[in-house]
Amino acid sequence: MSKPKRSIDQRLLEAQQAIDASLNNPAILQAVALMGYDQARLQAARALYDEVMALVAAQQREYGEQYEASAALQAAWDAADLAYKRTLKLCRIAFRDQTKAQNTLGLYGSRKKSLSGWIEQATTFYINLLGTADLMAALSPYGYDQTKLEAEAALAQAVVQARAEQNKERGEAQEATQLRDAKLDELDRWLADYKAIAEVALAASPQQLEQLGWVVA
């Protein structure tokens, strides 16, 4: 049966306890120094621990920014989709008997559920509507002028921009995770080596090993 995977918090706590207890206990420090782990080497390990902590904080910050970008994207999509569906329904009435207009605006057929599909359909709809004078003129009696349609097209474009921002933040969060994990693995390797050395250096003092966080049977 495999051992349960330790959490990041557990791994950090183990490293912090072993390093700080070694630095703060002269007897432990003297014993491990005889085997190459002097104060300078332990202080370097403490600096490595601090670097990992900074990367943990940075990773959490990047994921917070990603979640914020995702929420902003959803809000932009909801606002744009509401306007798009309303105008689409109106156009189906205004161009009920105009096959060319129906095809130009893509009025019929299913609406795509994916974000990329929605962007393609909505963007095409507004580009063709704003780019065809007689179609815009036909909507005028319904209270739709160029200004109103351009405002709705801007809502659709805001979705495109929000998606780009979300992708950027997702990439930065993934990169931050990779940096954190690589440096945490480095700290784990250091701790494993140090534990092996400490078990030898403190073999006659099991209580001191327990001060470093390692229970002795």
Alpha-carbon torsion angle 201, 202, 208, 213, nearest 10: 70
- Burial class from Cβ neighbours inside 10 Å (0-12, 13-18, 19+) for residue 70 reads middle
Predicted pLDDT at 113: 94
Residues 126 and 133: their CA atoms lie apart, in Å, by 12
The first and second tokens of residue 203, run together, are 């073999």
Region 134-151 average pLDDT? 95
Q: Please tell me the pTM assigned to this model.
A: 0.83
**Over 90: is that where the pLDDT of 187 sits?**
yes
For residue 1, pLDDT beyond 60 = no
Write the pLDDT tens digit of every residue in 14-63.
999 999 999 999 999 999 999 999 999 999 999 999 999 999 999 999 99
Both tokens of 97, joined, read 């008997």
Q: Are 106 and 120 in contact (CB under 8 A)?
A: no
Alpha-carbon span 169 to 167, nearest angstrom: 5
Q: Shortest CA distance to 186 belongs to which of 85, 22, 55, 75?
A: 55
pLDDT over 70, % of the chain: 98
